[in-house]
Structure 1
């Protein structure tokens, strides 16, 4: 089981680079994450995904996108996203994260990279293997995955060649870029509210507290969460507390009551009830299973 590390701002803590390059490429199986899915997060790096097995549902901001085996996805820098497997398909995918400033030579960054990562209407692109431009990107992604594994002579140069090919094919697709200030503000406010929750989840909190963090009314705050996460703010708090309890329950010295109070529940029985609803087992059963591994 893997723990997907993010900070209180929802920014992923994984350092996306090899020893030599600001690039990370790896294969991941969604259900092996400690939560059973990839939780909501964001990062400065751009991301390319290729589904090797099964099917995944990615959420980028408020949109959900199903991606089938053989197809892929481009996720832009700075956008909130999460992923779960569809229909218990055992989804495995190649994930490539790369610093935008490494995609092309520095002299080309302003003209050919910056406009794309700052666009507000380009949170993602579906990479349909039936489209030639997307097929070229997916082929290069597989090549980079092999280069990172094998580390043959001059593999770093070969990676940069493949990245150039990928970006050229994305640009050739001819996507029309837009820059909407209101969308930038919405994204910033959502990150502010999530950040506040992640800093204070162990404390007593109200809807008004969360709304204030985003400089919104309570009703607007609810609309943001409904649109982005299809749940109320306080339901998100509940789910987040249960996510945080999973790590505590894997520690031999922490019992269920201690875990409950450390993540913000003021009643062990209430924690057990909500944990069972979320995880389809009691926290006692979860702890017993994890201690055997």
Structure 2
């Protein structure tokens, strides 16, 4: 498992309650979970279908009734298959109060002394009860939900330790550590630059590789070519802008890194199976 100190540029929840909840169905603009990472922890519960997950190059199929614990700082992505799922992204520091006994246990996770397992099946009944109750409470936003959520997070971590759903962190980084850090650097470069015209040479230069070697490296790490991933990422951002702003399709195209409207429509259809106009209507 790999950890870095990259900080995403937005606030999760509020300053006094840094927790963010999302329900994702096929109509959500970010239904497909693109390859990314963040400094917060994340919980994902599968309500329907299957989510094909990759967490730091390990592949998992999570089906309805399961939940996933994603540690801070790891690369992860998810491809839904007739799936509905919820995500809860939170800052673990929300639990670091003056109770020294609790803090010591939480630091074993935040300081990477131990690594909780990723996938929890429905047969883990106690954890399933805690997680499902917590997600339902967050979704309801009833008065006092913050206190119930905090209690549930403590229960979850306590149960992970009590039932030994963790293993000691490795003393040495695995051999692919440097490659994952390089991939994170490339993804950060694309995230910050996708609105501008980008060439293969510019992307490969962001990690000091030759274009030829970089293409091989990127394909091995993501199973996509660099340009395919760039176009995919641009279309994902375009979908979000289409559904959350008042911009025209032409404006969205240019703000997503496309300088030709017809090419944008063609690329959009290739990734989404429909045109931007029909996507908006659906």
Q: TM-score, normalised by structure 1?
A: 0.75
Q: Give the 3 Å change call, closer, same or farther, for CA 120–217 of structure 1 in structure 2.
A: farther
Name the structure 2 match of 1:22: 18
Q: Counterparts in 2 of 1:227-266, with a 5 A limit? A: 227-247=220-240, 249=242, 254-256=248-250, 258-266=251-259
Deviation at 1:252, TM superposition (A): 5.7
1:62 aligns with 2:70: no
1:267 aligns with 2:260: yes
- The whole-number CA distance in structure 1 between the counterparts of 2:105 and 2:218 is 34
Name the structure 2 match of 1:135: 125
Name the structure 2 match of 1:3: none
Secondary structure at the counterpart of residue 53 of structure 2: strand
Name the structure 1 match of 2:160: 170
1:101 aligns with 2:98: no
Deviation at 1:197, TM superposition (A): 1.4
Deviations 1:60-94 (A, max 9, x none): 233332111111111101122233321x24x233x
Deviation at 1:158, TM superposition (A): 4.5
> Structure 1, unaligned stretches of length 5 or more?
1-8
1:211 aligns with 2:204: yes
Q: TM-score, normalised by structure 2?
A: 0.78
RMSD, aligned CA: 3.4
Name the structure 1 match of 2:191: 198
> Structure 2, unaligned stretches of length 5 or more?
1-5
- The whole-number CA distance in structure 2 between the counterparts of 1:242 and 1:75 is 25
Deviation at 1:98, TM superposition (A): 2.8
Q: Give the 3 Å change call, closer, same or farther, for CA 60–105 of structure 1 in structure 2.
A: same
Deviation at 1:279, TM superposition (A): 1.5
- The whole-number CA distance in structure 1 between the counterparts of 2:70 and 2:278 is 37
Deviation at 1:248, TM superposition (A): 5.1
Q: Give the 3 Å change call, closer, same or farther, for CA 261–70 of structure 1 in structure 2.
A: closer
